[in-house]
Amino acid sequence: MNRFCQIFDVKSPIIQAGMIWCSGWKLASACSNEGILGVIGSGSMYPEVLEEHLTKCKRSTDKPFAVNLPLIYPQVDDHIELIEKHKVPIVITSAGNPAKWTARFKDSGIKVIHVVSSRKFAMKAELAGVDAIVAEGFEAGGHNGREETTTLCLIPDVRKAISVPLIAAGGIGSGRAMLACLNLGADAVQIGSRFVASEESSAHQAFKAKVLEAKEGDTSLTLKELTPVRLLDGSFAKDVREAYQRKADPEELAKLLGRGRAKKGMFEGNLQEGELEIGQISSMIDDIRPAAEIIHDLLLEFQVARDEQFTAERYMF
């Protein structure tokens, strides 16, 4: 049996990514109820908000779910206490050193998955004792690595370097892409952008509508001098481009970015001033649907793509 499913007690080897402003208790519990690992994105939540989401999530599903915890989060200690208090079974750490917290989580009986974007940090995470590793490619939405390695190149390389279960992330929004990543050696996949455009996501309707319009080439990785982030084209992305054209320095870029732009764009639907974080695969998203339907169709496509290898003419050579 798939070891990711075994370790994390889920039916299908899929993680719904814990995305800031998009992944609250509604999306997480809907995904967990459908047999994948639902995740609450705590990076955009104050501790009291996280506690509310934890309570509601536990009320809405009896299946395992996880909390995504950026380790650079200012009130990370409060979040960790809440995760322990509410006996969250799995935590997905990112943006920080896993060596610092992994032992504490494990001592509390919490399983740890760590997110990396390079082979080097995958090896460090394994040494820190994590239970599984998400390797996320350049095409992913939101914050991203500096190496710019794509999922197609990153997964086989990380697979060679570590032995714990490996979850592929970045550019995966379909059953075909899931199959491709398993072919490359991943044990599971993490899917973000596709769930932004779900009914249960807490993204603002205006942002969801904008995601449906996205075409190939409409996102770009930018603000690399601060923290690299993949943004959907729009008013703020244009301001950033113009800042680069006038050769703005990092201080000016930081000032332009300011604070709260992600909330403004993704949660409040302010398409002019807000930051719109989404992956390249947004070009293939054409509808907003319930998470359960998205998962159902994705698994169906996975199966079709698998079977097709014995009937489709392109495999006959």
Q: Does 150 help bind its own copies (rule: CB under 8 A)?
A: yes
- Return the CA Rg of the chain: 19
Nearest approach, Cβ of 290 to its own copies (angstroms)? 22
Residue 131 binding its own copies, by CB under 8 A? no
Told to check if 269 binds its own copies by CB under 8 A, we report: no
Q: Kindly state the smallest distance separating residue 230's Cβ from its own copies, in Å.
A: 10
Residues 168-207 that bind its own copies (CB under 8 A): 170-172, 174, 176-177, 179-187
CB of 228 to its own copies, least distance (A): 12
Q: Does 209 bind its own copies (CB under 8 A)?
A: no
**How many binding residues for its own copies (CB under 8 A)?**
60
**Least distance CB 262 / its own copies (angstroms):** 21
Q: Which is nearer to its own copies, 151 or 201 (CB)?
A: 151
Mark residues 277-316: x for contact with its own copies by CB under 8 A, - for none.
--xxx-xx--------------------xx--x---xxxx
If the CB atoms of residues 3 and 100 are measured against its own copies, the closer one turns out to be 3
In single-letter form, the type of residue at position 216 comes to E
Q: Which lies closer to its own copies via its Cβ, residue 141 or residue 265?
A: 141
**Residue number with CB closer to its own copies (251 or 317):** 317
CB count within 10 Å of CB 58 equals 15
CA distances 31 to 2, 57, 170, Å, are 19, 11, 19
- In the list 23, 102, 144, 149, the residue contacting its own copies (rule: CB under 8 A) is 149
Nearer to its own copies, 91 or 154 (CB): 154
Distance of CA 175 to the CA centre of its chain: 17
- Secondary structure string (H, E, C) spanning the chain: CCHHHHHHCCCCCEEECCCCCCCCHHHHHHHHHCCCEEEEEHHHCCHHHHHHHHHHHHHHCCCCEEEEEECCCCCHHHHHHHHHHCCCCEEEEECCCHHHCHHHHHHCCCEEEEEECCHHHHHHHHHCCCCEEEEECCCCCEECCCCCCCHHHHHHHHHHHCCCCEEEECCCCCHHHHHHHHHCCCCEEEECHHHHCECCCCCCHHHHHHHHHCCCCCEEEECCCCCCEEEECCHHHHHHHHHHHCCCCHHHHHHHHCCCHHHHHHHCCCCCCCCCECCHHHHHCCCCECHHHHHHHHHHHHHHHHHHCCCCHHHCC
Within 91-120, which residues bind its own copies (CB under 8 A)?
118-120
Q: Does 148 bind its own copies (CB under 8 A)?
A: yes
Sketch the per residue contact string, 44 through 83, with its own copies: x for CB under 8 A, - otherwise: ----------------------------------------
Cβ-based nearer residue to its own copies, 49 or 312: 312
CB of 105 to its own copies, least distance (A): 25
CB atoms within 10 A of CB 298: 23
Binding site for its own copies (CB under 8 A): 1-5, 11-13, 118-120, 137-139, 147-154, 156-158, 160, 170-172, 174, 176-177, 179-187, 215-217, 220-221, 247, 279-281, 283-284, 305-306, 309, 313-317
